[in-house]
Structure 1
Amino acid sequence: MQAQAEHDRQAQPALRIWLLGGFRVSVGSRSIGEEEWHLRKAGSLLKVLALAPGHRLHREQAMELLWPNLHKEAALNNLHYALHVARRTLEPGALASSSTASRYLRLRSEQITLCPDSPLWVDVEAFEEAGATARHARLEPAAFRAAIDLYAGELLPEDRYEPWVQERRAELREQYLSQLLELATLYEQRMEFELGIEALGRVAAEEPTHEGARVGLMCLYALSGRRREALRHYERLREALLEEFGREPEAATTRLQQEIWAGTFPPADSVPAAGLPSEEDAPTSRAGAARMHNLPIARTSFIGREIETLEVKRLLAMTRLLTLTGAGGCGKTRLALEVARDLVGAYPEGTYLVDLAPLSEADLVPQAVAQVLGVREQPGRPLLETLEDALRSRKMLLVVDNCEHLVEAVATLVDALLDSCPGLRVLATSRETFNTAGEVAWVVPSLTVPGSRQEAYTPQELEGYESVRLFVERASRRDPSFVLTSPNGQAVAQVCRRLEGIPLAIELAAGRMGVLSVEQLALRLEDPLKLLTGGRTADPRHRTLRATLEWSHELLSEAERALFRRLSVFVGGWTLEAAEEVCSGGSVEQDDVLELLSELVDKSLVVVEAGEQRVPRFRMLEPIRQYGQERLQESGTAEHLRERHARYYLALAQEAEPELEGADQTRWMDRLESEHDNLRAVLSWALEGGQAELGLRL
């Protein structure tokens, strides 16, 4: 009964509250924007409850915190109204008039409780829990890094002068600085001076008068042979102390400065010649960490994704199941592995990868997990039960890769393990989400690409784009003489733009640099599916761009395949209304288009974007659209679809014509502008296909 009650509780949409670096709230997959908090005190009520021990407050405590200057009756009225608005904001569709109506805010016996029967995640708690784990891990820098990454900024900066937040803000900031100092000490012990300098530099940037951090920086710079930089930090400390407090550095700090100046610190025999520890000196925890994961060694550099890596780490601290989704080749696996490598040591019982790509049968999923974790089957007992028992008390991260072809089996297994194993977290990659309780889905974006513009980009500007950096790095591996220059920069930008920042496509394109110039490559990308193939050692699904798209296509139902290929007739995107009009017929009923389109979005073959007046607009990444075009040609229905497409946009243009001089002129101009590529495609088709009359009417 207790296990069932906990399962029911977890099945509720989770409430997630971010307080570090700014106030954010989500309920399930719905983010609540700042503009939706129509009453400021309603948000403040949620904040004080999120920070309160046990997430509960006596109503008089809440009144004293939020309305300290009001009489009791007025404060109580304000509290009830703030509670009402907060419930409405969290659950706009629910009746929030009674104390039992809300799943997230309950007032009972004069106690206000946040999420009494629903899962709750607060980033402050995740940060403090990670800090506690780091302190217990002792010699593991990764555990400290995991905690530090969760500190997104000071607590509630928008409430800077609220008395109820000031003490807690200072407390959390002190924890953050303390973790950085402890991390720097670990790096110094390991003689990883650059990493120690980076950690202490963050402390000094946050608090310029922090003498301990400045002394640490002086030591590490001196130990790494950079005396001038060490002495510069002493001067910066002295200036900051004189300006802030009117005093000089401590005597011990001044003595260290003099020793560095005289060359007596560090002593000549204090550092190994290469500045690196020997195998015998390396901390034993490193060997332990190596045994606590099975992650493969990265064979190529990881380009960009700094913001995404940090975001995934923070999300992983706020949920127990995080699924990275996105189109094939968008970098889901690589991002998951980079995050997992950074977190090795942060999970006491390890970080393990289970790759499901080689599996074809759902029954083999539990066996694959058990094999990786070293869990043996027991005669006469279901393997799932054995796994649950083995993992029940373990705090670990499980990375489950390539789940899209076994979604139901993985969802069933993960759901059962998360119910039974409170210390388990799962980071999954899949082209389709699991839609299971508590899952957070995060779409892996394409790499940043240079936009189209009249003036030429400089090489320095182009290097600011992740896709360009990836192309240049991989191209130089194939052709060591290749460098980014002003003459070839525009061709590089064109390649990255044409491939829409898809990492796999860019890597495959760079692989052609041994036999093509970048200008030739840009010209030949009219047919990327034929051009972009890879080496023999690559994952079979990633040897060609076509192979990764075929893998996704094979997982579709017949109706989904039909709609997928028909949607490729659109250029530059479409609306739901357009898809229903152009793509219905035969095996695809018009009433089914919405559901099928939603499935294609869930399976990462279609992207949703905010369109005109926030009406959703859909599109395919260009390589995916071209694959769909191939499938459409093979079906023998391409001309029929193009004619329907043309007649739909002709009708739209005719509807728009009288409106272009009316009061609604701006809205219609915006709508036609958003359909510019489709209108141009219709004109081209009409002129090339002998439909001159239709073209003239358009």
Structure 2
Amino acid sequence: MGGTDGADGAVRVEVLGPLRLLVDGVAVEVPGPKRRAALALLALAGGRTVPVDRLLDALWPGGVPDSGRQALHTHVSRLRTLLGPGADRLRNLQDGYRLELAADELDLAQARALLARARAAADPATALASLRQAHALWRGPVLADLTEVPAIAVAVEDQERLRQEVTDALVARAVEAGEADGVVGLAAAAHTADPLREPGAVLLMRALAASGRPAEALRVGREFRRMLADETGLDPSPTLGEVERAVAGGAAGHAPGPASSARPTPATRLIGREAQVAALHRLLGQERLVTVVGPGGVGKTRVALEVAARDGAPVVLLAPVTDPATLPHALAAALDLEVSRGDVLAACLALLGDRPGLLVVDNCEHLLAGARDLVEALLAACPRLCVLATSREPLGLAAEYTYRLAPLPLPEPGGEPAAAASVAVFLERARRARPGPPPGPDELRLVADIVRRLDGLPLAIELAAGRLSGLSLADLHARLDRALDLLGGARTGDARHRTLRATVEWSYQLLTDDEQRLFRHLSLLADGADLDTAEQLAAELGLDGDPGGVLAHLVDASLLDADFTGGTRYRMLETLRAFGTDRLAAAGEQEAAEALLVRWALGLTERIRVGLAAADEAEADATLRREIANLRVAWRLARRRGDLDAAASMVIALYEAIAYRDLVELRGWAEELAADPALAARPGAIAVLGAAAESAYHQGDAVAAERLARAGLDRDPASADAWYCRMVLAVVALAHGEFEVTVEQSLVGADLAGEHRECLGIAALALAYGGDLDRARGLNERGTAAAVSPSMRSWAAYVAGEIEGLAGDLAAAEAHYRTALRLARGAGATFLAGVASVGLLAVLARAGRVHDALRGYTQVIDGFARTGNWTHLWTTLRNLADLLRTLDDDRTADLIDAAADRAPDAPAVAGVRPVRSPDGPVPDRAEVLRLARAAVVRAVQPGTSGERTASR
């Protein structure tokens, strides 16, 4: 937003001195301390939204009165009035207020920009001009009448540090440009204001010497040494001695500049972490100790360095430190402090004193106790110091605010891959490894899959992109299963980062034996574990410690992530899981761990089986859907281990899901098991064949369904498990219009399975379709009375809807269908919800509520198409064709009916139905779906008759 030529009025706020507001170049008085404080806080936010609660706490630090929110709103309204034509700059947002100012509309932003420009300038004269302009922006004591507001007082301290940086840079550049005479007074004033600050003393010495006053320069150095020793017991850094030697040798203009802290400079720009860096800056304005935690390779150090760069904060690098006793020496090195005698830590604390500032302590996890003691001493002895620590687990101090750094955002499914920060990091690093044209759509899709499989970890992404120097993108993608060893090299100095495996190993070795063991076993679970499962596993392993405590430390150590959405669940990143399974094999525990996981899955599926047949079916359904990824692992392990009985038990226990839910994968398990020749000799063979037959029926393969069901009956038609096969034969016969066979098979199945199953309902449907409505009602009422689970009650309600629809009582049919839908959806029985929807839509159409019927067809068609259930999809499409004819869309209706008439998996149609011969070829399945969806869209568009009756 422009500062001088915008149509919304030129606005300028100045905070480098007494608060001043200018609108269109004219100073505007801002009355009242709270209103002035509100304006200052909004301006100091630099265009970020300031939450209402933060403003209230700042303006009323002693406690917000009941009228506080209204008073704040009034102050903001008055400020908007004072802004005149620029009133729109002050925005009222849902969570706070934001003052939008361009860089040239806030003197603080100008000062920072000018300083950055000067630092980047190669020409001293150009830099000097920018620094003089920046220094002139300070007009006196900064916001002196508002420093009772704590947030403003903190900001004033930041601005004083900025002024100090500008002053130091101005003096140094003036000396380099041969204009030292003009800045001697400025350097002297800065040194007088803080006589124990070595950079200020060094700059004054250089300015004096460059002005032809070397004796005075050397005197300043001697006095600084004496004062530093008297008041702190410290010696100055080597830089002071170098300046003294340069002055004495007559080379003051080329003497070393001010000493700088040992802060590493990143070689690449930070991508995708702007929000995290901003959040940490805000936190450090409120908290004295913030610890950034997260797994290895997530980018904690890089983010901390970005935060440190803003204030020039020193960074204590602990990664190379192995002895806790040397921590004070690492701190001294970060502060450029040489201590030749005495207590090193005491010397560091004395140097930091009570001056405000930020200190970064990086990589604390391997020296946790020592780092905790060091930080605690810093906070106690330096009351105005803030510490930003990085660690794979919290330090454990009372003052600590834990900030958990997550991996980079992954590409959204169906979205633009390049918009994701994880992809952007990969592409930026890949460009350095192998320059070339930008990637095309197919390559971007590969990159998106790579960063997903690397969990969005910046280190893993950077290492992967670096491998493009010797691998193609496709080669890299194909080898990601070896990512722990593939991603790395010997280029970095830190041995922990030479491979991704070494990075994880670093965290793993810090765990206790019990923690390592539980971590290894949890790594087999593809989608983590809830608290009960994790504690059960810990108990099975016989861990010495409390399972809850072990889990909590694995979370603290960033090796597990705790998700509290809908209950506690512990998960691992895929890279950590890969490491854990490798360590499981290395420890010789793999076989026992796999057997334990299969036993867990058997117990869980049995509990799900019982739950799906009970009144609390919805809870069992939720458990199944939540654990499906882990059950998939257990199923595959059982198959790989040749444990046919375990695999069969899982399939049989999940029969309700195979029959009534959209978990298509489970149907594949049944079919795979049924095709195994070894199944014939196992006790669960009949039930497995019945489940596989049910799966084939749902896929529209009636031939395979009947073959599998008869194979099961051939083994023992009187077996209690034979009802699985009887039910499939019944529904296949029903689809073929063989109603007597349907009734016979269903009633035998009811004798075997009990009346609480769906058997009586299927027999009732056959009787109703055959015209015997009274007997159909009687059978269904028996089934309804015995039904326990919501899905069986839903089935009974659906059958009742079919019967009453055939009887012509459309209102009663609709009520039954809606009951069936409610029960099915509540229980997760998606197949039953689909068939109930088909019946309901047909009744709505018959009742003349065409628009209501049309709106439901797309959803039902999509549902059956997604699960591949063409048997019921053809019925749905034929019903839609009938409805389309009432809307004069005969051509689409004829095409649909013609495709259904030729489909081998379409159910038989009761009565005589004319064979349609549409113009042109009969559409295939994909085309018939497209035609149906397009016809619905046309029919519900504005301008069509939404309630046309179906009386043609």
What's the TM-score once normalised by structure 2's chain length? 0.45
Q: What is the aligned counterpart of 1:689 among 632, 641, 644?
A: 641
Verify: 1:397 aligned to 2:358, yes or no: yes
Amino acid at match of 1:365: L
Residue 154 of structure 1, CA deviation? 7.5
Residue 482 of structure 1, CA deviation? 5.3
Residue 502 of structure 1, CA deviation? 0.5
Match of 1:672 in 2: 624
Determine the C-alpha separation between the residues in 2 that align with 1:564 and 1:504: 22
Residue 378 of structure 1, CA deviation? 6.8
Determine the C-alpha separation between the residues in 2 that align with 1:446 and 1:282: 50
Match of 2:482 in 1: 527
Specify whether residues 378 and 609 from structure 1 end up closer, same or farther in structure 2 by C-alpha distance, changes over 3 A only: same
Verify: 1:305 aligned to 2:273, yes or no: yes
Amino acid at match of 1:485: G
Verify: 1:181 aligned to 2:106, yes or no: yes
Would you say the 8 A contact 2:298–2:458 is kept in 1?
yes
Q: What is the aligned counterpart of 1:551 among 498, 506, 509?
A: 506
Residue 536 of structure 1, CA deviation? 2.4
Would you say the 8 A contact 1:511–1:534 is kept in 2?
no
Q: What is the aligned counterpart of 2:308 among 315, 337, 340?
A: 340
Determine the C-alpha separation between the residues in 2 that align with 1:307 and 1:63: 33
Match of 1:21 in 2: 50
Match of 1:110 in 2: none
Would you say the 8 A contact 2:354–2:383 is kept in 1?
yes
Match of 2:320 in 1: 358
Determine the C-alpha separation between the residues in 1 that align with 2:306 and 2:68: 43
Amino acid at match of 2:436: S
Would you say the 8 A contact 2:259–2:336 is kept in 1?
no
- Helix, strand or coil: the match of 1:526? helix
Residues 78-477 of structure 1 aligned to structure 2 (within 5 Å): 181-186=106-111, 189=114, 192=117, 280=177, 291-344=259-312, 351-377=313-339, 379=341, 381-451=342-412, 453=413, 461-477=416-432
Would you say the 8 A contact 1:567–1:583 is kept in 2?
no
Residue 513 of structure 1, CA deviation? 0.7
Would you say the 8 A contact 1:323–1:429 is kept in 2?
yes
- Helix, strand or coil: the match of 1:428? strand
Residue 295 of structure 1, CA deviation? 2.2
Specify whether residues 280 and 405 from structure 1 end up closer, same or farther in structure 2 by C-alpha distance, changes over 3 A only: same
Amino acid at match of 2:551: L
Identity of aligned residues (%): 35
Would you say the 8 A contact 2:262–2:335 is kept in 1?
no
Determine the C-alpha separation between the residues in 2 that align with 1:557 and 1:487: 45
Match of 2:590 in 1: 638
Residue 428 of structure 1, CA deviation? 0.8
Would you say the 8 A contact 1:326–1:445 is kept in 2?
yes
Alignment deviations for residues 264-299 of structure 1 (CA, whole Å, 9 cap, x no partner): xxxxxxxxxxxxx99749999999897454322221
Determine the C-alpha separation between the residues in 1 that align with 2:425 and 2:407: 12
Specify whether residues 382 and 481 from structure 1 end up closer, same or farther in structure 2 by C-alpha distance, changes over 3 A only: same
- Helix, strand or coil: the match of 2:419? coil
Specify whether residues 309 and 579 from structure 1 end up closer, same or farther in structure 2 by C-alpha distance, changes over 3 A only: same
Specify whether residues 173 and 302 from structure 1 end up closer, same or farther in structure 2 by C-alpha distance, changes over 3 A only: closer
Higher percent of residues as helix: 2
Determine the C-alpha separation between the residues in 2 that align with 1:586 and 1:666: 32
Match of 2:872 in 1: none
Residue 677 of structure 1, CA deviation? 0.9
Alignment deviations for residues 545-598 of structure 1 (CA, whole Å, 9 cap, x no partner): 011111111111111111111111211111121112224345514x62111111
Would you say the 8 A contact 1:569–1:629 is kept in 2?
yes
Residue 646 of structure 1, CA deviation? 1.4
- Helix, strand or coil: the match of 1:556? coil
Match of 2:439 in 1: 484
Specify whether residues 652 and 156 from structure 1 end up closer, same or farther in structure 2 by C-alpha distance, changes over 3 A only: farther
Determine the C-alpha separation between the residues in 2 that align with 1:373 and 1:327: 28
Would you say the 8 A contact 1:378–1:386 is kept in 2?
no
Calculate the aligned-residue CA RMSD, in Å: 3.6
Match of 2:606 in 1: 654
- Helix, strand or coil: the match of 1:448? coil
Specify whether residues 191 and 280 from structure 1 end up closer, same or farther in structure 2 by C-alpha distance, changes over 3 A only: farther
Amino acid at match of 1:438: A
Determine the C-alpha separation between the residues in 1 that align with 2:112 and 2:346: 41
Would you say the 8 A contact 2:522–2:528 is kept in 1?
no
Can you give the 5+ residue segments of structure 2 that lack an aligned partner in the other structure? 1-44, 72-88, 121-173, 188-198, 204-256, 651-952
Would you say the 8 A contact 1:20–1:154 is kept in 2?
no
Determine the C-alpha separation between the residues in 2 that align with 1:382 and 1:628: 44
Determine the C-alpha separation between the residues in 2 that align with 1:601 and 1:547: 20
- Helix, strand or coil: the match of 2:546? helix
Q: What is the aligned counterpart of 2:581 among 629, 632, 647?
A: 629
Pairs aligned (count)? 464
Residues 555-634 of structure 1 aligned to structure 2 (within 5 Å): 555-585=510-540, 588-589=543-544, 592-611=546-565, 614-634=566-586
Specify whether residues 188 and 405 from structure 1 end up closer, same or farther in structure 2 by C-alpha distance, changes over 3 A only: closer
Specify whether residues 52 and 278 from structure 1 end up closer, same or farther in structure 2 by C-alpha distance, changes over 3 A only: same
Amino acid at match of 2:300: K
Would you say the 8 A contact 1:323–1:439 is kept in 2?
yes
Residue 427 of structure 1, CA deviation? 0.9
Amino acid at match of 2:298: C
Specify whether residues 154 and 330 from structure 1 end up closer, same or farther in structure 2 by C-alpha distance, changes over 3 A only: farther
Can you give the 5+ residue segments of structure 1 that lack an aligned partner in the other structure? 1-17, 26-46, 69-152, 161-168, 196-276, 345-350
Specify whether residues 556 and 190 from structure 1 end up closer, same or farther in structure 2 by C-alpha distance, changes over 3 A only: closer
- Helix, strand or coil: the match of 2:51? coil
Would you say the 8 A contact 2:523–2:577 is kept in 1?
yes
Amino acid at match of 1:314: R
Would you say the 8 A contact 2:429–2:466 is kept in 1?
yes
Would you say the 8 A contact 1:566–1:583 is kept in 2?
no
Specify whether residues 425 and 503 from structure 1 end up closer, same or farther in structure 2 by C-alpha distance, changes over 3 A only: same
- Helix, strand or coil: the match of 2:406? coil
Residue 189 of structure 1, CA deviation? 5.0
- Helix, strand or coil: the match of 1:641? helix
Specify whether residues 341 and 67 from structure 1 end up closer, same or farther in structure 2 by C-alpha distance, changes over 3 A only: closer
Would you say the 8 A contact 1:534–1:543 is kept in 2?
yes
Specify whether residues 50 and 662 from structure 1 end up closer, same or farther in structure 2 by C-alpha distance, changes over 3 A only: farther
Determine the C-alpha separation between the residues in 2 that align with 1:332 and 1:551: 15
- Helix, strand or coil: the match of 1:399? strand
Residue 479 of structure 1, CA deviation? 0.9
Would you say the 8 A contact 2:104–2:110 is kept in 1?
no
Specify whether residues 576 and 179 from structure 1 end up closer, same or farther in structure 2 by C-alpha distance, changes over 3 A only: farther
Would you say the 8 A contact 1:324–1:429 is kept in 2?
yes
Determine the C-alpha separation between the residues in 2 that align with 1:396 and 1:341: 13
Verify: 1:52 aligned to 2:60, yes or no: yes
Amino acid at match of 1:633: A
Amino acid at match of 1:689: R
